[in-house]
Structure 1
Amino acid sequence: MAELTTLARPYAKAAFDAAKEQNAIAAWGQALAFMSSLAADGAVKNILANPGLSEERKAELFFDIAEEQTPEALRNFLLILAESKRLALLPEISALFDLYRADLERTLNMKVSTAFEMTEKEQQQLAEALSRKLERKVALETAVDRSLIGGVVVNTGDLVIDASVRGKLAKMANALGS
């Protein structure tokens, strides 16, 4: 995964810079997300891996499916990806593009795992506290994980905040074991 991200990074940065220059970040983001879902499809993966098809024809496959939804600049971007044999990187490019967009907009999507279902009020309070602490607008995606016993685990990218009972017990066991 890290290798694919490394390969995708310059393309994602170029796409983001082009979208920003055209003042079309939202449109590029939607189009890249759509192209990403296509590239992640099993049948499309097989087509992209087919050495019998020209790279240009592989790019045309995306144009045919997307029809009129593909702006000219994005079409050119996809042709460059095809020439470089990088169409399979579209999911990673789209994910990185979204990270660049979130950084520009000062937003952050965080996954919150709790042992029990959180109420709307609790979610709102947690989002507000995280927004103040991180100085960004925070959107939460919640999930229930009964193995946490109690507390909460919050993560996004490289940041993990483990305030769960399971995490505290693991730290105690580690401290006692050393």
Structure 2
Amino acid sequence: MAELTTLARPYAKAVFAEAQEKNALDAWSDSLTTLAAYAADANMAKVLVHPSLTASQQAQALIDVCGEKLNEAAKNLVNVLAENKRLPLLTEIAALYEEYKAELQNTVDVVVTSAFALSDEQSEKLAQALKAKLQRDVRMSSEVDESLIGGAVIRAGDLVIDGSIKGKLSKLAEAMNS
């Protein structure tokens, strides 16, 4: 995974710089999301690495599938990635781009996994608390995982806060076994 990130980083930085220069952060975000979704498809992934296809054929196949959703700059990116045999990196490039965009906009995506669905009031209070702690605007999404028993697990980038009963029981079991 770290190797993929290392390979994808220069492309993501170049796209991000282009997007900033042209004031097209959202347009690039949409294009990269589209490209990553198609590149992640199992059938398309086979085409993108098929040894009998030339780089331009691989690029054209992806561009054709995306149709009108790509502008010329995004098509150029696909061609450059194909020439350098980097088309399978599209999902990683898109993820890195979104990280750079969130940092620029001072936002963070937070995923809250709880044992029970959060009420609107709970979600709002949690979002405000996280905004104060992280000093960023918070875009929050919720998931339900009944195996947590109670509490919640909060993921914001690299930060993970495990306040679940399941997590606390696991820590207790680990402490008792050592």
TM over 0.5: yes
Give 1:31 shift.
0.7
String of CA shifts for 1:131-154, please: whole Å, max 9, x gaps: 111011112211112222211110
Code of the aligned partner of 1:18 = E
Secondary structure of the 1:117 match is coil
Which position in structure 2 is the counterpart of 1:169? 169
Code of the aligned partner of 2:50 = N
1:46 maps onto 2:35 in alignment: no
Which position in structure 2 is the counterpart of 1:2? 2
Instruction: Give distance in 2, aligned partners of 1:80 and 1:158.
Output: 31
Normalising by structure 1, we get a TM-score of: 0.93
Deviates more, 1:64-73 or 1:137-146: 64-73
**Structure 2 stretches lacking a partner, 5+ long:** none
Instruction: Give distance in 1, aligned partners of 2:123 and 2:20.
Output: 32
Deviates more, 1:61-70 or 1:41-50: 61-70
Normalising by structure 2, we get a TM-score of: 0.93
The structure-2 alpha-carbon separation of the partners of 1:68 and 1:166, relative to structure 1 and needing over 3 Å to count, comes to: closer
Q: How does 1:13-92 map to 2 (within 5 A)?
A: 13-92=13-92
Q: Do the aligned partners of 2:16 and 2:25 also contact (CA within 8 Å) in 1?
A: yes
Identical counterparts, % of pairs:
47
**Structure 1 stretches lacking a partner, 5+ long:** none
Secondary structure of the 1:47 match is helix
1:111 maps onto 2:111 in alignment: yes
Deviates more, 1:39-48 or 1:123-132: 39-48
